Each structure stands twice: as structure tokens, then as C-alpha cells.
Amino acid sequence: MHFSPSRLVIGFTVFIACSFFYTINSISARDPTSVFFSPRKGYAPRYSAIRRQQAEAFIEAYNPASVVKTSPDEKKRKLCVGIPSFNRPGAQYLPDTVGSLLEGLTPEERQEIYFMVFIPHSKPETHPAYHEEWLSGLTDQVLTYGYGFDRMQYIRDLERTNNYKEKGLFDYTYLLNACKEQYTPYIALFEDDTVAIDGWYHRTMAAIHEAEQQAALQRAKPYFLYLRLFYTEEFLGWNAEDWKTYLKNSIYVGIIPAVVLVLVRFAQPTTKLSLVLLTRRTFIATYASLAILILIFFGLGRVTVLPMPVGVHEMSQFGCCSQAFVFPNVKAGELVEYFKDRHIGYMDVLTEDFANERGELRYAVTPSVVQHVGRATGNGPWNKWGR
């Protein structure tokens, strides 16, 4: 069977093109900022599924005789962990969250943590985990509202009217203040549809230390507003606010071939290479190829081509959402008062308002030390984004 050269060229070109796009798809399928993003692949649980199994096994193996709790010496405590958990229709993630945070801790690490779960219901017994033995057995405190009749009536009214915007902020303020009163140097608040990675505690403490050092270099004081332990990559793409920067950089890249061609023209004006390169066809082909490469660069997604550096870095814009924050105790009191003054709003938005008004430093750690597993059912007063 005879194959003409043109058919071979076409076949080879098709093979290269298919291989190229398959490679691109493999690279960027999990990048939500890419045009090649695949929700099926991007949201498919991988490590989080393994971690949830480990967390569930930890909860199932609960034995009161082997439980280690916080140190009775308050000076040895370094972190107050707070988890708000409301009764979600459908899936309940609280056991996975608690289990993943506790599984793998050494006894010394566990003693450095004051562990608190908050049930923000006027009738806490409506929460399926409230009466389960492991909840009170593994935590240092199961927090509920400690109010009299009048204040509880206000809470019941918020529940009855589904006033998430007001009640969500009220509850977050209540929990943040409760952790502040434990007087640990730092407070970590996690939503109840997250799972922590193995080794989250020592990674978090190392990140706090790094944030303190960076803050001291910038402001001469080791104070910052928060450290994000989780952020979604969906808002870290090619943001419209930076279009001038993208255009400028694209122009700079576009100048390079022109400079090269000019140099060739003046350095070797009569050589065969110069005569071949300095044609209209070559010029058009060069810039057509360059335009395609620039489009592919942006299409791959910012997270793929310009990923966040590993470690602690500033994140004063586009940080989302409220799944996991660490606050210094010295800043928690200021936030509590600010939230009380604002009264209504989403915690993450108001925290950014607070930071912008006062010029506060905000940091995030990469990679994230928790993963969000509650996209399908994570809606309600604790989740502005409904994910």
C-alpha cells in the first residue's frame, strides 16, 4: 500500500496536534482558572478521600481510656481550634473534620491545642452528633449558647426566618470570642466540611512562625491579621483588574522576534539565513505562532503557569473563602468588636473590609493544609459561597 508524502505529513501533523492538546488537557484539567478545566477531574476527591477514611477510622476507634486532651497548664497551650457545626440536610462532615484534625497528632501536640466544637442551634440536640459520645470525649469543650430567654428568643427568630447573613456573623463572633477567652496565642477556626492533611498542626505552627518573621520585616512587629490555611484557586486567575499588566507583558514578548530579525538583518544582511528569515511569509508565520503561544499560555490557566510559591506569602486580594483561618489572639478582640458593630454581613467580606480599612497584613500558606469536601451540601449560615 502506497502512502504519499503529503498524507504522511498530514498524519504526522494530526498526531502531533492530538498529542499536544491531550498533554495540555492533562496539565490543566484540574486548574479552575484554565479554559481546559474539567469539573469532573478538578472536583474528583483524591487525597481528601483517603484522609476522610483515616478520620472515620479514628472516630470509630474512639476509646475514652486512651484520649489525650489539652494541657491543664494554660501556658503550654499554643492554639485554640474552633469548629462551628450546624445540622446540614443530607451529609454530615463533622466526624471527618474532627477526626482529620486529631488523627496523627502526637500527645505533646494534642496538649498544645484547646479543641472546641460549637453547635450554633437554639436546640443543640437537633444536631445529630450532639449526643454522640466521641464528640464530648475527644474535644475539650462542646460550646453552645449560654444566654437567657430574651437573647435566645433573638436567636430563635434568626433561625425561624433563615437570616443567615445576620446569624452567620453572630455565630462566628461568638465562637471567635470564646476561643479568644482561652488566651492561646493563636486561634484557628475551621468550617465543619473540611478535612485537614496529615501533619497539619506542625505545618500550621511553622507557617505562623514564617508569617511572624515576614510581618516583622515589613512592619517591625510580628503582627498580622490572619493566616489562610485554605483558599480556593477559582479567584486566582487572570483578573480583569490586571489587564494592563498582561497587555504590557504580551507586547514585550512580541518585541523579541522583531529585535532578533533586525539584528540578523544588520549582522548578516546577505547570507542565506538572513534572506530566508527576512521575508513577509516568515514574519507572518512567526507572529501567528507567537499569538497562538500567548493564547495557549493564558488558556492553560494562571495556577498552572504561574503557581503560588510554596510557603507563606501575602494574599491581600482574591483570597476566598472562610474554610480555615488562623487569627492572632491580639487581633481577635478587635475583629470581635468590628463584627459586633457591623452586625450583618459575611465574615470573609467583613474581614477583608477590616483589613483594608486598617492596612492589616494578610497571609496564606501554600499548599493548603486543609481541603474543602462540602461543595455539594455546604450551604447555610457558615458558607457564603454555597459550595
Q: Please state, as a whole number, how many other Cβ atoms lie within 10 Å of the Cβ of residue 246.
A: 14
Phi, psi of 73 (to 5 degrees): -85, 105
CA distance 36 to 29: 6
Please tell me whether residue 280 adopts helix, strand or coil conformation. Answer: helix
Identify the CA nearest to 143 among candidates 173, 169, 111, 186: 173
- pLDDT of 289 reads 82
Give Cα 6 to chain centroid, integer Å.
51
Q: How far is CA 258 from CA 28, 255, 261, 293, in A?
A: 31, 5, 5, 16
Successive 10-residue mean pLDDT values, the chain, 387 residues = 52 70 74 76 78 95 95 95 89 92 97 98 93 96 92 93 92 97 97 95 98 93 94 76 84 84 71 67 80 85 82 85 94 96 93 95 94 62 37
> In what order do the strands lie in the sheet containing 362-366?
141-143, 113-118, 79-84, 186-190, 324-328, 226-228, 362-366, 311-314
Phi, psi of 220 (to 5 degrees): 70, 5
Pick the CATH number of 47-235+308-372 from 1.10.3720.10, 3.20.20.140, 3.90.550.10, 3.40.50.2000: 3.90.550.10
| pTM over 0.85, yes/no | no
CA distance 122 to 157: 10
**DSSP designation for 301:** -
CA distance 374 to 277: 56
Cell of 23: 498533554
Q: Is 52 within 8 Å of 373 (Cβ atoms)? A: yes
Sign of CA dihedral 181, 185, 190, 194: negative
Q: Is 124 within 8 Å of 130 (Cβ atoms)? A: yes
Please tell me whether residue 20 adopts helix, strand or coil conformation. Answer: helix
CA distance 1 to 14: 20
Non-local CB neighbours of 48 within 8 Å, separated by 6+ positions: 195, 371, 373
CA distance 151 to 60: 37
Using only the alpha carbons of the chain, give its radius of gyration: 27
- pLDDT of 387 reads 32
Provide the residue ranges of all domains of the chain, joining segments of one domain with +: 47-235+308-372, 240-300
Give Cα 320 to chain centroid, integer Å.
6
Identify the CA nearest to 384 among candidates 348, 339, 343, 340: 348
Q: Is 138 within 8 Å of 98 (Cβ atoms)? A: yes
Angle between helices 164-180 and 329-342 (to 10 degrees): 150
Q: How far is CA 26 from CA 42, 44, 287, 334, in A?
A: 11, 14, 27, 46
Report CA dihedral (311, 312, 316, 321) to the nearest 10 degrees: 70
Q: How far is CA 19 from CA 22, 36, 150, 305, in A?
A: 5, 15, 68, 19
Please tell me whether residue 151 adopts helix, strand or coil conformation. Answer: helix
**Residue 231 backbone zone (phi > 0: left; psi -120 to 50: alpha; other: beta):** beta
